[in-house]
Amino acid sequence: MTGLIEDYALIGDCETAALVNRNGSIDWLCWPAFDSDACFTALLGDETHGHWKIAPAAEVTKCSRRYRGDTLILETRLETAEGAITLIDFMPPRGAASDVVRIVRGETGRVKLRMNLVIRFGFGVAIPWVRRTEDGALLGICGPDMAVLRTPVETHGENLTTVAEFEVNAGDSVPFVLTYGPSHLKVPAPIDPNQALKDTEEFWSEWSGRCTYDGENCDLVMRSLITLKALTYAPSGGIVAAPTMSLPEKLGGARNWDYRFCWLRDATFTLLVLMNSGYTEEALAWHNWLLRAAAGSPADMQIMYGIMGQRRLLEWEADWLPGYEGAQPVRVGNAAHAQLQLDVYGELIDAFHQSRMAHLELDGETWAVERQVLEHLASMWDQPDHGIWERRGDGAHYVFSKVMCWVAFDRGIKSAEAYGLEAPLDDWRALRDTIHRNVCDKGFNPALNAFVEYYGADVLDASVLLLPAVGFLPASDPRVRGTIAATEKYLMRDGFVLRHDPREQTGEKQPIEGAFLACSLWLADVYILAGEIGKAQDLFDRVVGIANDVGLLAEEYDSIAKRQTGNFPQALTHIALINTAHNLCDAKRSAEKPVMQRSK
């Protein structure tokens, strides 16, 4: 049986990532890239769908784990009646091939261990042909995929599983290295696991040492930044929303989506947290990815792309997988990529504006792309769309979508004015004013005294909490104050913020999913802008308080079951955490100093 979502820790090589259970089992790994088929898929099924477990043979009486300093090297200490071992798991920065390295280090006593390796390519269905190489390595091949296991421990086969039984004494160190390669090429050369450990520690320590954040909650902010780096596909600069797919937003439910892609909706906040934390190189790589992804006809711009900017992300169901705790269906790909979501236009233009403000060296064609995007948006901003939450079915005039159309023209105007860029400024200013009036007239519900989900709605939506953050209205505006009060009344459960109004779903206060953690942090940001620092701090502390023991957060939190839900770890949650930490730090240091707003 797989563990709770919060039982997992992340390791990765900035091209893919694996999830390691606290019991010593790797239950999820897509190889060789984030969006590849998984070879360990137990997370969405059981052990027969692929996993790799190294653990004591006897009962584990105590388990504790941590990351080694500010790195992505995981150390899990497992104790038994006979003694204790530490399992060191990591993926070295990608060299000629991708490696998962596991080192068992004896701590006390003499501990018997067992290794179970079940490789199942193709999301748990393809059993590889296994044989020995001349140097004694174990080679598994299936179609285009190849994996090779190297270890000094003797292994053998049992029921299509590779197993090993061995013992370690205090001071012993036993390595296991599993390496991926395309099956049509030569077997990847072996690596020195101890040297790889040293190199990996140096890589992450050097990267973490560049962080400029020095406020409160440094450990949490650093872990979130490391997680964001781990979710970056280094060859392209794209950042995936999560390394997983089909982890349910509601336990046992059907809202199970593939998040192994790059969303434009996260663009500006991603840039801000990278730039404000000292990572301008990563910020520029993300900007360049955005530029390449959006290149071409603005009419064809999508809400999300593949890690290399791929546009076709066809959705299908892996019906042989039972799903996480039975949550069906298990979806691969994401049909929402073809939706119209107007907010992404604002995200794109805002991201480019923020890049200029940070003095990043932008491509000379950036402004030409922005001009094309804004010209297209001018002709269709008043169309219904599917909104930031990717509603399936008929479109609507979502308030946040219209606000982000306003942001697109506002930032286009600001860039042109500040940097002397050629633009039809009179037309853009007139359109910006028109959109603002449109939203205020049709998106505000006087009876609720709040901005609502879509024009004419009588229910709320947490995305409107971003209105003051993007500069649409100040937090002091009575309509924003009313929206905050309505959010507290209708969208909060057990101190966390739901993204959807539960009255819309069932007519009762029974939400169809957990609280959306990024939205909870957005409310904290609004509190900061409104000068309510104490309420912001309480909400921030509440969110970070449900992070798991190694500082990781999923998309949502079920406060009734007291469990994390949704894909894990979630980039947007960690981005929001970093952003709010910066805002709290700035607000506390100087009440007069403006906090990090996207409207600048």
pLDDT 10s digits, 252-290: 999 999 999 999 888 788 988 999 999 999 999 988 888
Percent of the chain's residues with pLDDT above 90: 83
List, as own/partner pairs, every contact residues 189-195 make where C-beta atoms lie below 8 angstroms and the sequence separation is at least 24, other chains included: 189/96, 189/97, 190/135, 190/137, 190/150, 191/92, 191/95, 191/99, 191/101, 193/101, 193/103, 194/103
For the segment 481-488, the average pLDDT, to the nearest whole number, is: 98
Residue in the structure block whose two tokens are 């020095």: 214
Output 509 or 406, whichever has higher pLDDT.
406
Express each pLDDT in 299-322 by its tens digit. 788 888 999 989 889 999 999 999
Percent of the chain's residues with pLDDT above 70: 97
List, as own/partner pairs, every contact residues 126-129 make where C-beta atoms lie below 8 angstroms and the sequence separation is at least 24, other chains included: 127/160
By C-alpha distance, which of 356, 463, 482 is closest to 403? 463
- Under DSSP, is residue 52 helix (H, G, I), strand (E, B) or coil? strand
Contact 115, 145 (CB under 8 A): no
What is the reported pLDDT for 501?
87
Express each pLDDT in 44-78 by its tens digit. 999 999 999 999 999 999 999 999 999 999 999 99
Contact 261, 35 (CB under 8 A): yes
> If pLDDT is split at 50, 70 and 90, which confidence band does 513 have?
confident
Residue 600 in this model has a pLDDT that exceeds 50: no
Q: Where are the alpha helices (DSSP H) in 420-560?
A: 425-442, 478-490, 502-506, 517-529, 533-544
Asked if the 5-207 domain carries CATH number 3.40.640.10, the reply is: no
Helix-, strand-, coil-residue percentages of the chain, each rounded to 5 = 35, 25, 40
By C-alpha distance, which of 320, 341, 315, 324 is closest to 258? 315
What is the reported pLDDT for 1?
56
Output 534 or 135, whichever has higher pLDDT.
534
CA distance 489 to 485: 6
What is the reported pLDDT for 264?
85
- The bridge status of strand 238-239 relative to strand 74-79 is unpaired
> If pLDDT is split at 50, 70 and 90, which confidence band does 207 have?
very high
Residue in the structure block whose two tokens are 């007291």: 562
Cα angle: 217, vertex 220, 224; to 5 degrees: 140
What is the reported pLDDT for 341?
87
The tokens describing 538, both together, are 């309480």
Q: Report in angstroms the alpha-carbon separations of 114 from 55, 118, 157, 169.
A: 6, 13, 13, 15
CA distance 167 to 113: 6
Asked if the 217-589 domain carries CATH number 1.10.490.10, the reply is: no
Cβ count near 533 (within 10 Å): 16
> If pLDDT is split at 50, 70 and 90, which confidence band does 591 have?
low
492, β-bridge pairs? 497
Provide the residue ranges of all domains of the chain, joining segments of one domain with +: 5-207, 217-589
Q: Give the DSSP H or E segment for 476.
A: none
What is the reported pLDDT for 507?
44
By C-alpha distance, which of 299, 453, 314, 308 is closest to 378? 299
Average pLDDT of every residue of the chain? 93
> If pLDDT is split at 50, 70 and 90, which confidence band does 535 have?
very high
Residue 593 in this model has a pLDDT that exceeds 60: no
What is the reported pLDDT for 81?
97
Contact 387, 304 (CB under 8 A): no
Residue 506 in this model has a pLDDT that exceeds 60: no
Express each pLDDT in 335-371 by its tens digit. 888 788 899 999 999 999 999 998 888 877 889 999 9
For the segment 584-600, the average pLDDT, to the nearest whole number, is: 66
What is the reported pLDDT for 509?
47
What is the reported pLDDT for 562?
96
Cα angle: 295, vertex 306, 96; to 5 degrees: 110
Residues ≥6 apart with Cβ < 8 Å to 164: 114, 115, 151, 153, 154, 155, 156
Residue 561 in this model has a pLDDT that exceeds 80: yes
CA distance 73 to 203: 11
What is the reported pLDDT for 130?
92
For the segment 82-87, the average pLDDT, to the nearest whole number, is: 98
Q: Give the DSSP H or E segment for 355.
A: helix 343-357
> If pLDDT is split at 50, 70 and 90, which confidence band does 179 have?
very high
> If pLDDT is split at 50, 70 and 90, which confidence band does 31 have?
very high
Q: Which of 280-284, 390-394, 558-562 has the lowest mean pLDDT?
A: 390-394
For the segment 504-517, the average pLDDT, to the nearest whole number, is: 66
Is the pTM higher than 0.85? The answer reads: yes
What is the reported pLDDT for 95?
85
Cα angle: 236, vertex 237, 240; to 5 degrees: 105
For the segment 403-407, the average pLDDT, to the nearest whole number, is: 98
Contact 5, 256 (CB under 8 A): no
